[in-house]
Structure 1
């Protein structure tokens, strides 16, 4: 799995952090998403998929890798 975030789309809702705090964070000044781990370990994949689904701005894209 590879994660790509579009900071320009991010509205700072924070749903990604709530779903996968080991993978996502937010900037203190404006709340925009910070990607902590673009290729998370397998046990975090479900949480990352949930974060992408919950993102109100669709700012998180997931590329599944074999």
Structure 2
């Protein structure tokens, strides 16, 4: 009772194919892959933007102070 037999898996496969159709499953997997790629690209874009901000504000350069005229 703890494991499924081959017949259980075949019935599940038939039901899934009837619900989604043969062409729908690869299409869903392709859409999922595109979503993952765009998520990774968005994360790397945020990392690049954060790195660009840290490069602009380097600590080794002292800010130039205006000399006051007295």
1 or 2, which has the higher helix percentage?
2
Q: TM over 0.5, yes or no? A: no
TM-score calculated relative to the size of structure 2: 0.21
Bigger Rg, which one: 2
1 or 2, which has the higher strand percentage?
1
TM-score calculated relative to the size of structure 1: 0.22
Bigger relative CO (Cα 8 Å, ≥ 6 apart): 1
